[in-house]
Structure 1
Amino acid sequence: MSLYDVLGVAKDATKQAIKTAYRSLAQKAHPDREGGDAEKFHEIQLAYDVLSDDGKRERYDATGETEERASARSEAETLIMQRFAQSIEEDDDDDLVETLKTFLSTGKIQVELTINQANDALKKLERHQGRVKCNDGDNLFAMVLDQKINHKKRDIETLSGQLEVIKEAELIVAEYTDTAEREPQPSQSAYFAEAMHAARQHGNGRRFNYPWGL
């Protein structure tokens, strides 16, 4: 999906059309609203940031990439290389690509869960806004609350960046295949047949230790 598709505008859309579409979509997707979606809001914000800037829009039209996408891809490649290096050092006989895909999938779920939790925490903080009034001088309660809200927003932004890196890594790894030949793993029924044969040879199946712990 292109950035134009995200905002629902044509490729030759004017700045005003882009701005109008952004405002409408951002209001609906804002995490503070009921039914809002932090990830969708981030996509809308990115689309607007790029398409509302002449230089960024020209680069995007020419390459199909944003500065954020290029950065995410670079970090994704680094992550993949680190995982491959670890697998090589450990002399792992498992399918390295499938292992990496599982690692990324698990990581994505964990980050998405943490983002949801952070958004819930942010909403709780924001409910305190305007709660304590100060008749004279600086409102210290408001100052502390603003600090906590801004800190939580930075956490969410960092987590969203991590999620983009993982998604980019998944796209890259989808093109990889581990071609190493491996011994086929016997099925459980084969294990059972082998175990029963050994048990009969022993003359007493109860003395035989089955390979899956029976």
Structure 2
Amino acid sequence: PYSVDPASLLTRGNTNLRTELDDGDKMIPSSRIYKDNIILASKSFTPFGMSVRFTEFKEDYRLVGSQSTALSSFLTQDFAVTEKYFVIVQPALSLDLNSLVLGSKKCYQEALSPKGKTSQIVVVDRKSGASKKIDLQDTISVIGRIANAYDEADGNVTIDAINHERVFFGDGIKSADYANHVPRSQLVRVRVDVEAKTSDVTVLSDY
């Protein structure tokens, strides 16, 4: 439902998005509102990562537009929207496909490893769909949530986000101590030069 009567809580408008989403799509667990538009993001897995589709609607869920981009990562949790771009983070995680095929790992989460990659910011032009990937500094480990993003007058993009020192709580899913092994986190500001494909990171809060 996208419209609910405030008194009776009866549904006044609903959609199942069947014409906009494919059967294999899985929703990224967040949505964004930019001006009068609602933006949803869905993902589908490929052998080499995932495809992310940004779908933009009016308030009554009339389709405005849709753009897609391919990621080489198998994990992403959040995205942001600016006047010009959809913004998503590609974490520095690798997937051990052999362990999944051979059965030593039972799911994607167990087969993920924070080794051998650099985190990237991916910006996707909302009109053309053209995407650019910008490497982040080594100080960035895993960005979980994006708090804010906006275009600057010089054409650059600024992103405020939560950076975690690691994605896992313990040595693995089964050994996680959720009471004591919470990863250290920082609020960081990432300024991205889209044309030069460079980034600069400032720590706003370290806690």
- State the TM bucket, normalised to the shorter chain: under 0.3
The normalised TM-score by structure 2 is: 0.22
Q: Larger relative contact order (C-alpha < 8 A, sep ≥ 6)?
A: 1
Task: Specify which structure has the higher proportion of strand.
Answer: 2
More helix per residue: 1
